[in-house]
Amino acid sequence: MSLHQRALVLSAAVAAAVTLVPPVGAAAAGRTDGLAGVDHIVVLYQENHSFDNLFGSWENVDGLANAGRRAVQIGQDGRPPPCLPHNDVNLTSPDPLPVTCTGTSNGVPVDSAFRNRPFLIDDYIKPTDRTCAGPGTSAPANGVKKNSPGAVEGGCTRDLVHEYYQQQYQINGGALNRYVLGSNALGLTMGHYDTRALPIYRYLHRPDAPRYVVADRFFHAAFGSSFLNHQWLIAARTPTWPGAVADYGPTDVHQIVGPDGRVANYPLMTPVPGVKTGPLTQAANPDATCKVPPGGPTPKPGTVCGDYAVNTIFPTYQPTPPGIPATLKLPPQTAPTIGDRLSARGVDWAWYSGGWDNAAGNVGGPGWTNGTTPGTCTDPNANPHAVYPNCPDRLFQYHHQPDNFFAHYAPGTAARAAHLRDEVEFIAAAKSGTLKPVSVVKAIGAENEHPGYASQHAGNRHLVDLITALESGPNARDTLVIVSYDEFGGQWDHLPPPPVDRWGPGNRIPTLFISPRLGRRFAVDHTTHDTTSILATIEKRWRLDPLTDRDRNANDLIHLFGRHDGRPGP
């Protein structure tokens, strides 16, 4: 990409950022008329896919057809190689795919079946292919070879790295051309699914489908990880670990950033000694400048440093992974959350999580499946290292439970008992018409669409099951369903995120709005939103104070219920 083209990309990103910050009058507390009659808001929060990766071929969206040169990836030398290497065991050459492209990347020979452009995953790994690990287990680093012993159906791929500094490296100032270079999964970052084969697409194209909107300018709030974006969904801020160890010793979990912004040396990179990834940003000196280890690399100018938790870390409270060291347990947080705001207003809410009762030790709860024998986790899918009564499923994701990181929701508190619930309770409430005004639903690992340990297709079917339960229930007529994904999952997208602040936002993510109160049967919304737009909408509906400047300034969803900004669909 030329300097002129890069300037155009950055100019477009800045222009998009303007729409993310509406005039103060537009965000006034009284502007809620568009939500009149919306008495329930349900957020179905899925895992780890970029917009182009899943929804890039949905009709009328700004999708893959518009990618152009933003799809071309570069090597360490700044030049685009002709071929993209792969290390997913089902995409490598010469086995199992023949070599059809040869070239070099940064002077290193590359033999591949893939040219330097996006590719359709379904052509090589179908939803019915046996490429998933056995029940309750994650795939090896490079995936499960098709039809190998123990492999099960589901069309799984390997996982892709998705971290705070690393995503910024991939975005590369809006050029979007370092996704392959800055990933442990190489060319898989350029893969995408057949949108029209997705269960959610087929469900919404049935003759009796509910009214819906596809949002093609919806970005995840913060760069990088699932942990961080779950925190932004409930608190609109990055958690902190005040006084975290910062001596670069064995118990220091701060990252070390290189001069080009990397924190790891991935396969196509020329190595930079001393870089290190971890849960916390690079440590800071007392004057807030970045603390550089003796003899270590100097981070890129503008690098955010301090005691901020940005990558996967775990809660102090149960449920937390059995045997996890204290260095990976974040101290309880005390900042206000959207749940706190709702409770103070007297508005009921819940975070419903798949497998919660088992993991949290709620013996006899609606989701409990570990029998009645004290001291023994009897569910065959329970973590083999679990200590009764905390019997988490093998694929229960501890860092996907954001409220459990907060002191207000500690074990034994009334707030925890009232608001942190099991997904089976949500399904029952949807079917019986007893939804709480605000619900967030987080599927268990096997059903959340996360690459590496879940089948994308199976997780998408579970999403449809949740929507079906809602749409067939008594509360459907006054419910807004928001389907969104926590973050990009390490996957490329062609639209530069608008630069708002040091935390993000990151890539576009697949997002849908479903409600009978929407103005059209189908539309595409081009308004710029991010994850905090969900908070802004809840705050406007129930007249709550914003949590931070991000949700105060974010575009809400009220316009969807009046004059629509998108193009009509068929």
DSSP 336-365: --HHHHHHHHT--EEEEETTHHHHHT-TTS
Per-residue pLDDT tens for 261-288? 999 999 999 999 999 999 999 999 999 9
Question: What is the pLDDT, as a whole number, of residue 32?
Answer: 61
- Evaluate whether 487 touches 506 at the Cβ level (below 8 Å): yes
Per-residue pLDDT tens for 186-201? 999 999 999 999 999 9
Question: What is the pLDDT, as a whole number, of residue 138?
Answer: 82
Question: What is the pLDDT, as a whole number, of residue 561?
Answer: 87
DSSP 45-95: EE-S--HHHHHTTSTTSS-GGG-GGGG----TTSS--SB----STTT-TTT
Question: What is the pLDDT, as a whole number, of residue 107?
Answer: 82
Q: Please name the residue that has the structure tokens 């059903």.
A: 447
SS3 135: coil
- Evaluate whether 159 touches 191 at the Cβ level (below 8 Å): no
CB within 8 Å of 28: residues ≥ 6 apart: none
Q: State the average pLDDT for the chain.
A: 92
pTM: 0.92
Question: What is the pLDDT, as a whole number, of residue 297?
Answer: 96
Reported in sequence order, the residue ranges of 187-313 that DSSP labels E, i.e. its strands, are 191-192, 212-215, 218-219
479-485 and 511-514 beta bridge pairing: antiparallel
- Evaluate whether 204 touches 521 at the Cβ level (below 8 Å): no
Pick from 312, 313, 306: which is nearest to 288 by CA? 306
pLDDT < 50 positions in the chain: 1-30, 563-570
Q: What is the domain partition of the chain in residue ranges?
A: 242-308
Pick from 512, 103, 136, 459: which is nearest to 268 by CA? 103
Inter-helix orientation angle 226-235/532-542, to 10°: 20
Pick from 238, 200, 209, 202: which is nearest to 484 by CA? 200
Rg (CA), the chain: 23
- Evaluate whether 132 touches 154 at the Cβ level (below 8 Å): yes
Question: What is the pLDDT, as a whole number, of residue 14?
Answer: 31
Question: What is the pLDDT, as a whole number, of residue 7?
Answer: 31
Give the torsion through C-alpha atoms of 407, 409, 415, 419, to 10 deg: 150
d(CA 478, CA 312): 36
Conformation bin of residue 439: beta by default, left when phi > 0, alpha when psi is -120 to 50: beta
Buried b / exposed e along 141-180 (16+ C-beta atoms within 10 A): ebbbbbeeeebeebbbbbbbbbbbbbbbbbbbebbbbbbb
Question: What is the pLDDT, as a whole number, of residue 31?
Answer: 54
Angle of CA points 172, 176, 178, to nearest 5° = 65
d(CA 261, CA 267): 16
